[in-house]
Amino acid sequence: MTDLFTVMAQPQRRRILEHLRVGDASVGQLVDDLELPQPTISKHLKVLRDSGFVNCRTAAQQRIYSLDRRPFTEFDAWLEQFRTLWTDSFNALAEHLDSKGDQ
C-alpha cells in the first residue's frame, strides 16, 4: 500500500481527488474535465485505488470512481496531534497582541 504522502505528492493525483470530492466520476469524465490523457488518468486511478483512496464500481460499460473517506479520516486523526501546536502558538500570539493593545 502506498502511503498518503506518496499519493499526495503527485499533483495530478491531487487534482483527481479534488474532482472526486465533488462527486463520483467515470474515467471519461475525468479525462474531459481534467484535460489529461486517458492512460494518465487510468495510471493515477490505479495508484489511488490500490492505496485505498478511491473505490470503483461498474455501471454498464463504465467504471465509476468515488472517494473512500477512511484514508482521509486516518490522516486527519494523525494531524490532530499537531493542531494543538498551532492552536497554542496562535493563542500565545493573540495574548501578546492583546497585551500590546492595552499599552
Domains of the chain by residue range: 1-67, 69-102
Residue 54: left (phi > 0), alpha (psi -120 to 50), or beta?
beta
Report pLDDT for 36: 95
Host H or E run for residue 62: strand 62-67
The pTM (predicted TM-score) of the whole model is 0.77
Q: Tell me: domain 1-67, CATH 1.10.10.10, correct?
A: yes
Q: Residue-wise pLDDT tens for the chain (103 aa)?
A: 467 888 889 999 999 999 999 999 999 999 999 999 999 999 999 999 999 999 999 988 999 999 999 988 888 888 888 888 777 777 777 787 888 776 6
